[in-house]
Amino acid sequence: MWKMLTWIIIGIVVLLLAYVRLAPSDPARWHRQAAISGAETKQLKGGYIWRKAIEGDGKAELAALDKYALATDRTERLAGSVEEGQMTYITRSKVCGFPDYTTVSLINGQDGQRILEIYGRLRFGRSDLGVNANRIKGWVAAAQL
């Protein structure tokens, strides 16, 4: 009986981990800006938003962030481009493959000011343990923003 129960539990864990790693990522759901107003950087439950007002059209900043994002281990672009003014990336954890989504956008602030927004969030769970904030801060530092 215990042996059978153990195998059932192992099977359930394997199926859950397979779902986490193989679940499709719908760009319509994840390729979007933060739905939180304001111009400040914020720590969120399960995510992080970094914002900064920039000069010019922001394409150089987007290109630099794209370069560093794609150089990050286990990271790939889900949707968007520098030309579009918005890119979304999936970064997976090393062991279980938990996906985090990070969207880099140019948005219009008040008075026509351009704002660079980086919005990182988790897909599964309630807390990212600061992983999104650390990744975003690393990209910002590497791009010297």
pLDDT in tens, 66-90: 999 999 999 999 999 999 999 999 9
Name beta bridge partners: 115.
53, 107
Q: What average pLDDT does the structure give for the chain? A: 91
Does residue 7 surpass a pLDDT of 80?
yes
Among 35-39, 54-58, 79-83, 95-99, the least confident range = 35-39
Backbone angles phi, psi at 141, to 5 degrees: -65, -45
Determine the residue type at 56. Answer: G
Tokens of 73: 């281990």
Q: What angle do CA 33, 108, 88 make, to 5 degrees?
A: 25
Tokens of 33: 């800006």
pLDDT of residue 135: 96
DSSP letter for each residue of 68-101: HHHTSTTEEEEEEETTTTEEEEEEE-TTT--EEE
Per-residue pLDDT tens digits for 107-144: 887 777 889 999 999 999 888 889 999 999 999 999 98
Please say if the pLDDT value at position 39 is more than 70: no
Rounded CA gap, 4 and 45, in Å? 38
Measured CA distances, 2 to 7, 11, 15, 105, 109 (Å): 9, 14, 20, 52, 61
Tell me the domains of the chain and their CATH numbers. 25-142 (3.30.310.80)
